[in-house]
A and B are shown apart, each in its own frame.
Chain A
Amino acid sequence: MMEVELENKPPNSPSFWRRFSVGTNPVRTWYRLLCLSILAYVILKYLLLPIKVTGYSMFPTYRNGQINYANRLAYRWSKPQRGDIVIIKTTGERVTILKRILGLPGDRIRMQDGKIFINNKELNEPYIKQNGGWREREIELKSDVYWAIGDNRAISEFGKVHASMLVGKILF
């Protein structure tokens, strides 16, 4: 009878670099990667829009170069409130505009020597450094129409925004 001597070899263990790149179980790693990619896509497409602030129209609240996110679901179940900082889309979402909502649907709004009057009552704005001295005749906002302006009144534009143009509310 022949005796077979079995080699006492340790089981094949993957090299450090292989474990580092694809883990001990590559199939499971790829599956995890796929799940993470889908999750990232869903988050960025439907929940958060990453933005980079460019320029000084929202100074001093937001500075040039700051990174932030827009919460896309902020106005799904509630309406924008006065003072909300919102992301407004242009012809698409590759370039968006960051402004503060001050006028709500139905409001009568005017600017006098840089001060903002809503329904004939002056608005207290502790977040601005200088009021810019703007003068604008009174307008009345229709339903679903808001009025937005930047915090840096020296350079910021302002105007009416339809609710459909709001991408979301800034996260922080």
Chain B
Amino acid sequence: MAGLTFLGWKALAFLFPGDETRIRKKLSRLESLVSYTPNTPPLVHLASAGGILEMFTQNAELSIQTDSSTWNIHGRNEIKTSVLSSRQQERAGMRVHITDPVFEFGKGDSISTLATVTAKWESNPDIMVRILEFNWVKGERNQWLISSIKTRKDLEWGNKL
């Protein structure tokens, strides 16, 4: 009986996932779309860029600090241009991992997620680690879309300082 209840509960969770589960799935999809291997054909890059765009609101804002600069990107068009041009520049491939998301539920239809994002380029043994804040809003058909991504300082991201 206990086993059946457990299975039923799991089935319900699978069929009607909560907001947190849906966002976790979106983050893993984003992770796989942003990563690419060397010698990826241009059409695949284009398809990935399209997939990435679908995850953002029309006027999404990105502010991501890299080691040497800060990417300030506004809107879907700029996101697409940035994705394609960065892949053009760095053809050797990149692997991105989004780990340990922490959820902060806001008022109404907004959720903020803090996650550790690591990026490793095939051409560089060093790894970039950033704590990114993803802000989500509900779009059409109750889909969660990213409205903004901001960088929190790695060592000082907690609010206890």
Contact = CB atoms under 8 A, between A and B. Distances in A.
Interface of A: 54-57, 64, 88, 90-95, 97, 99, 142, 144-145, 148, 155, 157-162, 164-165
Interface string B139-161: 00000000000000111111011
A164 B158 contact: yes
B156 A161 contact: yes
B79 interface: no
A108 to B, nearest CB: 16
B114 interface: yes
Given A159-B154, A160-B155, A91 B131 contact: yes
Interface string B114-158: 111010100001110101000000000000000000000111111
12 contacts: A56-B125, A56-B126, A64-B125, A90-B116, A90-B131, A91-B100, A91-B114, A91-B157, A92-B102, A155-B126, A159-B153, A161-B156
B99 interface: yes
Contacts of B102: 91-92
Contacts of A165: 155, 158
B150 to A, nearest CB: 14
Nearest to A162: B160
A165 B129 CA distance: 16
A104 B118 CA distance: 28
Interface of B: 67, 97, 99-102, 114-116, 118, 120, 125-127, 129, 131, 153-158, 160-161
A97 B154 contact: yes
Given A55-B125, A92-B116, A95-B97, 6 more contacts: A90-B129, A90-B154, A92-B102, A95-B99, A95-B116, A165-B158
Contacts, number: 71
Contacts of B154: 90, 97, 157, 159
Nearest to B153: A159
Nearest to B100: A92
Contacts of A162: 158, 160-161
B161 A160 contact: yes
Given A92-B99, A95-B100, A164 B160 contact: yes
A91 B116 contact: yes
Contacts of B155: 88, 97, 99, 148, 157-161, 165
Contacts of A145: 161
Contacts of B153: 159
Contacts of B127: 54-55
A145 B160 CA distance: 9
A64 to B, nearest CB: 5
Nearest to A65: B125
Given A93-B100, A99-B155, A55 B116 contact: no
Report, nearest first, the 3 A-B pairs whose CB atoms are least far apart: A92-B100, A159-B155, A90-B116
A142 B160 CA distance: 10
A97 B129 contact: yes
